[in-house]
């Protein structure tokens, strides 16, 4: 899967750093954003192959980000992995409605992260 571009979005700088390093070490090209508004603009400009985003962020939540991505022809197809806090689950109906490829609870292992991204890249959206 080398050369695939992944946009990593989280307001916690250390999460962005850890996720980006793990993905880069496994051959992915990584771009980063620290809020949903910034991520929406980067997704339009960079056309990533996958987006890994936190659920709860200032400016725009992960769910709002995904909803806006799905409304735009240029970004509606991008698979999304949603990071959530332990014990918090996004209802299955909402995941299906927004076409969220995978949800991953924090804390997660690097192996779990890679598996989710690879699975999301293999999934068709739309």
Residue 28 resides in a domain: yes
pTM for this predicted structure: 0.91
Cα–Cα distance measured from residue 68 to residue 2, given in angstroms and rounded to the nearest whole number: 28
Among residues of the chain, what percentage have pLDDT more than 70?
Answer: 93
- Compute CA distances 47 → 87, 93, 107, whole Å: 32, 26, 28
Residue 118 resides in a domain: no
Cα–Cα distance measured from residue 64 to residue 4, given in angstroms and rounded to the nearest whole number: 24
Instruction: Identify the band that residue 123 occupies on the pLDDT scale cut at 50, 70 and 90.
Output: low
Residue 114 resides in a domain: no
Residue 90 resides in a domain: yes
Residue 109 resides in a domain: no
Which CATH number fits the domain that encloses residue 72? Answer: 3.40.50.2300
Residue 44 resides in a domain: yes
The residue with greater pLDDT, 126 or 109, is 109
Residue 111 resides in a domain: no
Whether pLDDT at 114 is above 80: yes
Quote the number of domains for the chain: 1
Cα–Cα distance measured from residue 11 to residue 9, given in angstroms and rounded to the nearest whole number: 7
Instruction: Identify the band that residue 95 occupies on the pLDDT scale cut at 50, 70 and 90.
Output: confident
Backbone φ, ψ for residue 109 (5° rounding): -85, 155
Domain residues for 44? Answer: 1-7+15-51+60-102
Beta pairing partners, 8: 32, 52
Residue 22 resides in a domain: yes
Q: Report pLDDT digits (tens) over 38-94.
A: 999 999 999 999 999 999 998 899 999 999 999 999 999 999 999 988 666 777 787
């Amino acid at each position: 899967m080398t050369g695939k571009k992944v946009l990593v979005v989280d307001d916690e700088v250390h999460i962005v750093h850890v996720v980006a390093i793990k993905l880069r070490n496994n051959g992915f090209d990584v771009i980063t954003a620290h809020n949903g508004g910034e991520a929406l603009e980067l997704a339009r400009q960079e056309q990533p192959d996958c987006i890994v985003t936190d659920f709860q962020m200032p400016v725009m939540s992960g769910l709002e980000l995904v909803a806006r991505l799905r409304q735009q022809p240029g970004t509606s197809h991008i698979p999304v992995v949603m990071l959530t806090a332990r014990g918090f689950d996004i209802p299955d109906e909402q995941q299906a409605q927004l076409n969220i490829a995978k949800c991953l609870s924090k804390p997660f292992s690097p192996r779990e992260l890679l598996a989710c991204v690879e699975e999301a890249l293999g999934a068709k959206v739309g």
